[in-house]
Amino acid sequence: MFIIQFCGPESVTVYNIAYKFFNLMAIAYTVIISPMWNAYTDAYIKGDYAWIRSNFRTSLCSWLMIEVVGVVMLFLSHWFYRLWVGSAVSVPLSVSLSVFAFISLFNFNNAATYLINGLNKIRVQMITSIVVTALYLAAMLCFGHRIGIEGVVFSMAAAYLVMGAIHFYQCRLLITSRASGIWDK
């Protein structure tokens, strides 16, 4: 919707091609970490923080492996787009880079939110979601007009970076049993 507003309907096609390609990273990572939500809950009920810490690290290692694959995808994206859609649509490297950044930070944030949701400590997540969405809309309105597709998508990436940083801080407190106050709710 925002890309149509700022860049026109033809830009939606350009974004959508890049998104569908790089969304493979999100799908792969979701398949890997999906079982963790319930597993974190089970371990939390049993008080097995060593298991939680170990598997959270494993989730982060999986994220890094997906990132390596994503970098390869980024380098091969131009070739893949040509193979996939031919010369009918040209997807600039800057659009691919912005979508790669967005999906990477989306996955990064998911590593933390799966733990937070599994431990049912979601108050910070609810607050950050509301506040960061408002900041995203402001940034997107500013950069979407000036930069185009990349401005809209990099604004989403920045939103996930901020949420990811806050959520990882909460995760660190939770898995070391140092969370208190809002961080433990």
pLDDT, mean over the chain: 93
pLDDT at 8 over 90: no
Domain range for 82 is 2-184
pLDDT, position 98: 96
Residues 123-157 pLDDT 10s: 999 999 999 999 998 888 877 777 888 888 999 99
pLDDT of residue 7: 64
Q: What pLDDT digit, counting tens, does each position of 28-62 carry?
A: 999 999 999 999 999 999 999 999 999 999 999 99
* Number of domains into which the chain is organized: 1
CB atoms within 10 A of CB 103: 28
**171 has a pLDDT exceeding 90:** yes
pLDDT for 62 equals: 97
Nearest-angstrom CA–CA distance, 67 and 103: 10
The model's pLDDT over 108-119, given as tens digits with 9 standing for 90+, comes to: 999 999 999 999
Q: Which residues of 66-86 are buried (b: 16+ CB within 10 A; e: fewer)?
A: bbeebeebbeebeeebeeeee
